[in-house]
Amino acid sequence: MMSHREYGYKYEEKKLSQINRAAAKHPKHNLFGNVLDAWLENSRNRWKASSYVRYYNHIQNHIKPALGACPLSNISSDTLNDFAAKMLKTGKRNANGGLSIKTVRDIMVVIKSALKYASNEDLQIDVNFRLNLPRERMKEIRVLSRNEQVRLEQYLRANIDLCKLGILLCLYTGLRIGELCALKWADISLGEKTLIVSRTMQRMQLLETDSVTKTKVVETSPKSDSSARAIPIPDCLLEKLDLFRAKHPAAYFLTGAPNQYIEPRAYQNKFKIYMKEAEIKDANFHALRHTFATRCIEVGFDVKSLSEILGHANVNITLNRYVHPSMDLKRTNMNKLQYFN
């Protein structure tokens, strides 16, 4: 009877033989770098342009330099775990430190997808690798306190304009910065008290080598299918929105002009200035979205409604990432407990 060790050796020899025979039939797929290129080109029409750029950069900046010349027969759990460990330690392009756990996980998803593509191309590749990545630490989420929100709102309303109104709109609807920058007045119905999210704006890297500029601003469909949504507008905003309503429905919300927009990076800078002038501790724009979600929970929103307003695919995303009960809310809920008399 064959021992487990002997059986393991025979299995590995058989698997390597299958891989080598398949690679001989597909010489262009001999090296992992060629598989990555083929997968990228084969799949690009199924992705948004921004996703393609992200995967392309993962491949060119990290995967190919380390594994591109590696024969498919050499790709194993040990190979990939060694690669992941190196990325965590010294993966930054300037070699000054490692990549985040999230980034490494994203890179490993690209690798597994490319290997699955190779498997579907009749290359006998084992796609069930055992990866040993550390757990990702939860980042501290910045949520404006009630006092900070009061100060910010007072500052915005004291000398309000379209850009400052945009901050208020995000505080009371949870819009992402790209969604706000792409918002047009045609998307807002004051009569029905709703706004429609159907686009997002972002600055995207250009991959063409002959491009004069390296990036461009693009408008695309929202982040996901669930991100396209209708949001009820709170009554407290209707008067201000009516005051600034643009005559041309194709006008961008933040500029009031149809052919002039403010891109997310520039608007983020404006927000930073507003926070500094309002004497509030620095925060990224996304803190407004977390603040909106937290206030909604504090006033008793049901999570399903909040999840749909935020444009999440399911309520777990809302609960795990955007619900941050304050100590006051926790204390209020705890004081609801009474002795059983």
* Paired strand residues for 220: 200
For residues 282 and 159, membership in a common domain is answered with yes
22 pLDDT above the threshold of 60:
no
Domain ranges, residue 81: 4-120
For residues 112 and 204, membership in a common domain is answered with no
Which of 16-30, 52-66, 143-157, 200-214 has the weakest average pLDDT? Answer: 16-30
Q: What is the CATH number of the domain that holds 20?
A: 1.10.150.130
106 pLDDT above the threshold of 70:
yes
27 pLDDT above the threshold of 50:
no
For residues 20 and 74, membership in a common domain is answered with yes
Cβ atoms of 144 and 151 within 8 Å: the answer is no
SS3 call for 341: coil
For residues 48 and 180, membership in a common domain is answered with no
Q: Whole-model pTM?
A: 0.79
18 pLDDT above the threshold of 60:
no
Q: Note whether residue 140 is domain-resident.
A: no
CA dist 91 and 50 (Å) reads: 22
Which pLDDT value is given to residue 20? 45
322 pLDDT above the threshold of 80:
no
Our count of domains for the chain comes to 2
For residues 161 and 233, membership in a common domain is answered with yes
Cβ atoms of 59 and 35 within 8 Å: the answer is no
For residues 186 and 84, membership in a common domain is answered with no
For residues 166 and 277, membership in a common domain is answered with yes
Alpha-carbon distances, residue 63 vs 73, 74, 208 (angstroms): 17, 15, 20
Q: Note whether residue 125 is domain-resident.
A: no
Which distant-in-sequence residues (6+ apart) come within 8 Å of 277 by Cβ?
Answer: 155
For residues 163 and 230, membership in a common domain is answered with yes
For residues 68 and 19, membership in a common domain is answered with yes
Number of other CB atoms surrounding residue 232 within 10 Å: 12
For residues 15 and 60, membership in a common domain is answered with yes
CA dist 20 and 60 (Å) reads: 26
Q: At what angle do helices 32-43 and 49-58 cross, to 10 degrees?
A: 180
Q: What is the CATH number of the domain that holds 309?
A: 1.10.443.10
For residues 47 and 104, membership in a common domain is answered with yes
For residues 276 and 159, membership in a common domain is answered with yes
